[in-house]
């Protein structure tokens, strides 16, 4: 929940994506329209599964299409943890977006308690099983214990999780969890890490470009 319309326009004016890497920005709903048409694909941060109806506060896939948005994130760890989104509604959101012609970034990841209990493989297997297979869908692995905490999965931990996910679902897998310019290259050099889902470090144009440049260098 960062950057209103004016801040979004200023960000995109200052941000120039490097060549050799696919870059997407995911502003909040009120900033989607100002972001569209600035040379960078735009994804919403969530999308509802229904075309319309009594779902106050939600946004349908057809509304995003009408705005010119390219896709949507579904199942982000904050949506799962703070708003109680279960696997089945994550799947329904993804399916609705794909049916409307949008791209999808579907997020999965274990909590700290689940990792400490040795449940990482079971959690990821359950979450990935709910995600549809489609050429316009990619998965993002977000270890919840590394979201906004400053803690980052080691490259070895990230690679292990990504290898598991790719064995379950044949799609590129992004890493999300305190990605910043200082650790981006090492993380994305891992063989099964296909990119990054960047949080706080994406809010500054120079920081985000540095991460994109790290991705370009290892692609």
Q: Examine the residue annotation and report whether 16 is marked as an active-site residue of this protein.
A: no
- Copy the structure tokens of residue 128: 């990935």
Q: Examine the residue annotation and report whether 142 is marked as an active-site residue of this protein.
A: yes
Backbone phi and psi for residue 204, each to the nearest 5 degrees, phi listed first: -105, 125
**Ramachandran region of residue 178, left (φ > 0), alpha (ψ -120 to 50) or beta?**
left
- Class of residue 196 by CB neighbours under 10 A (exposed 0-12, middle 13-18, buried 19+): buried
Residues 85, 95, 110, 142: which is the catalytic one? 142
Beta strands (DSSP E) in the chain are: 43-44, 71-74, 103-108, 137-141, 173-175
Are 196 and 181 in contact by the 8 Å Cβ rule? The answer is no
Residues 76, 85, 95, 110: which is the catalytic one? 76
Give catalytic residues, as residue numbers. Answer: 76, 142
């Amino acid at each position: 929940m960062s950057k209103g319309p004016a801040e979004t326009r200023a960000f995109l004016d200052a941000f120039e994506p490097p060549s050799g890497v696919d870059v997407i920005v995911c502003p909040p709903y009120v900033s989607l329209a100002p972001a569209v048409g600035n040379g960078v694909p735009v994804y919403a941060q969530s999308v509802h599964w229904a075309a319309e109806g009594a779902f106050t506060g939600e946004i349908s896939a057809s509304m995003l299409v009408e705005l010119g948005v390219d896709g949507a994130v579904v199942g982000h760890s904050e949506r799962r943890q703070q708003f109680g989104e279960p696997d089945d509604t994550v799947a329904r959101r993804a399916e609705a977006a794909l049916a409307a012609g949008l791209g999808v970034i579907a997020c999965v990841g274990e909590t700290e308690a689940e990792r400490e209990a040795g449940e990482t493989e079971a959690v990821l297997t359950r979450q990935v099983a709910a995600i549809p297979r489609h050429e316009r869908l990619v998965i993002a692995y977000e270890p919840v214990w590394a979201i906004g905490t400053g803690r980052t999965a080691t490259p070895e931990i990230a690679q292990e999780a990504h290898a598991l996910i790719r064995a379950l679902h044949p799609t590129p897998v992004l890493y999300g969890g305190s990605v910043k310019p200082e650790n981006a290259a090492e993380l994305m050099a891992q063989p099964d890490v296909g990119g990054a889902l960047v949080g706080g470090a994406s809010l500054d144009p120079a920081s985000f470009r540095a991460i994109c440049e790290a991705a370009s260098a290892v692609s």
